[in-house]
Amino acid sequence: MISNYEITKRKTQSEFLEYDQEKMIRRFHLAADGDYLYFPFLGRECRVGRKNGVVECAENGVFQEAGFTEALTVCDLLCWAKPEAAPSGEYVITQSLSPLQTSSAGLGGKSFYEREARLFDHHPEALSEAFRALHGEEASGGDVSAFIEVFDGLKAQVRFWNSDDEFGPEIQVFWDKNILLYMHYETVWYALGALMSRIREEFSRAMDASENT
């Protein structure tokens, strides 16, 4: 049985083919050939098929089909970003993007990052290494913090605090305040999921490397 996630991804792939790819190439200065559009996304080289809309990202030099959150985020960025979309250099916390001002249990709230917060707690070296693997730029705030480029100069800032005797571990994510010129509000959920997934991947690699030395 095909999952709802797979159905949605396939629908998005089909919709991608309805958009002007030459306009995407000019808009984002993409490398392209007859088969693919190429671009960096969350620290990896990625591409999208010009004939099937399938998003793939390179892992150890081999392109593999991207997951649900990555694919939907990429397609929204390429197809929907407004002509005037450009990084502002100013950042706002994720919760402030919600038109309904969701509670902390919603988008960007503590429960959203709970898995990662527990995983990263008191492993600052591995988390810093994960940020570096994503070409992150060290930033202020938290015990470990970095600006990470998502796509075409659009960055997110991730701040992490270790737990102490009074408070649990905490993650906050800030987006360029122009983020909603690049993607729909709903897609920010997917972008967050893709960002956290990539950090987890690189964090796990850093932890494995430290245990083997």
Domain for residue 86, yes or no?
no
52 lies in the same domain as 130: no
Residue 51's SS3 state is coil
Contacts of 123 (CB under 8 A, 6+ apart): 203, 207
106 lies in the same domain as 69: no
| Count of domains for the chain | 2
Instruction: For Cα atoms 136, 23, 84, give the angle at the middle one, nearest 5 degrees.
Output: 60
* Listed residue (114, 194, 139, 40) closest to 202, CA to CA: 194
Domain extent, residue 59, equals: 4-80
pTM of the model: 0.92
How do residues 123-134 score in pLDDT, each as one tens digit? 999 999 999 999
Instruction: Give residue 144's Cα distance to chain centre.
Output: 18
Domain for residue 60, yes or no?
yes
How do residues 149-175 score in pLDDT, each as one tens digit? 999 999 999 999 999 999 999 999 999
58 lies in the same domain as 95: no
127 lies in the same domain as 152: yes
Contacts of 10 (CB under 8 A, 6+ apart): none
Mark which of 49, 80, 111 sits at the end of a domain: 80
Strands 31-32 and 91-93: unpaired
